[in-house]
Structure 1
Amino acid sequence: MIATQTMTDEQRKSVALEYLKAFDNGGVTSTGESILELFAPDAQVMFPKWGIANGREEIGQMFGEVGSKLKSIRHDYANFNWIFGGGDTIVAEGTSYGEHEDGPWRAGVPEWGAGRWCDVFEIRDFKIQRCFIYLDPDYAGADKARYPWLDGA
């Protein structure tokens, strides 16, 4: 689709924040809409160990499958690092905490554990066109056997 509305970095940031806050709120935005309304109809989202979801229907499936494993999640908004690349791309780096079905997590506890993440967004026309999520999806830190440096951790 051809871009029709000019956006500032701060406007892109506000869309990304709305997405992260909606994820923490069970997929509901501040206006009561589905998180999927923040995405362009043909958007792409990548989540580790799931792959790339194409379009709102697949994104909804992915969020449902990933979200069904989480009892709760909260992003630490005050500590985000925002990187503005010019154009439509912004990057958010941050931390989170919550509870996975296999147990709780908090960034930095332990230091090697889950909770640190980085999202690369492309946002045009006030819609997320692309969101690639980079994090360790082993929220409960149960995958120690495959990493010998974690032996005894």
Structure 2
Amino acid sequence: MAITVQTMTDEQRKSVALEYLKAFDNAGTTSTGGSILDLFADDAQVMFPKWGLATGKEQIGRLFTDVGSTLVSIQHHYSEFTWVFSGSDLVVVEGTSHGEHKDGPWRAGVPDWGAGRWCDVFEIRDFLIQRCFIYLDPDYAGQDTERYPWLTRT
């Protein structure tokens, strides 16, 4: 059996990344009713701050279950995304979100230093996510003021 490598356009890679973000907003269900894990290669990697690196669908599922269990809801602001394409398999998307964490609500820009601004770096090949590194502040509700005292200053 030969290894299949399908050439993808930037728009096709963007559509895979968008499907992932929309599935995350939809409690892990894709637009076709499948699992968000269906969007990943078997040996994919996902990195989430304060969780670490998950390798393979089983660990990625555990990561998403752990993070998802802390969220009541999340909504990414699709119209505000900034996309960067590398000319290879890499896609970078920067954006904002709002939602509710178990510790309270958040909205990007409210307050300006708070959660809701994020950046994801994807490697997408053969219509599957090979790697997704997520860069954000996981303190969605802004409760980590003891370690960052300047957050309590008005």
Q: Which runs of 5+ in 2 are unaligned?
A: none
Q: 1:146 is paired with a residue of what secondary structure?
A: coil
2:16 is the counterpart of 1:15 = yes
Task: State the identity %.
Answer: 75
Give the equivalent residue in structure 1 for 2:76. 75
Give the equivalent residue in structure 2 for 1:102. 103
Please say if residues 3 and 124 of structure 1, whose CA atoms lie closer than 8 Å, have aligned partners that are also in contact. no
Give the equivalent residue in structure 1 for 2:151. 150
Report how far residue 148 of structure 1 moved: 2.7
Give the distance between the partners of 1:112 and 1:12, measured in 2 at CA. Answer: 31
Give the equivalent residue in structure 1 for 2:133. 132
The CA RMSD measured in Å over matched residues stands at: 1.2
Alignment of 1:26-65 (within 5 A): 26-65=27-66
Greater shift in the superposed pair: 143-152 or 113-122: 143-152
User: TM-score scaled to structure 2, two decimals?
Assistant: 0.97
Give the distance between the partners of 2:100 and 2:35, measured in 1 at CA. Answer: 22
Report how far residue 84 of structure 1 moved: 0.5
Q: Which runs of 5+ in 1 are unaligned?
A: none
Give the distance between the partners of 2:17 and 2:88, measured in 1 at CA. Answer: 15
Q: 2:20 is paired with a residue of what secondary structure?
A: helix
2:103 is the counterpart of 1:122 = no
**Per-residue deviation, residues 63-113 of structure 1 (Å, max 9, x unmatched):** 000000000000000000000011100100000000000000000000000
User: TM-score scaled to structure 1, two decimals?
Assistant: 0.97
Q: Which runs of 4+ in 1 moved over 3 A?
A: none
Alpha carbons of structure 1 residues 133 and 34: separation in structure 2 relative to 1, 3 Å: same
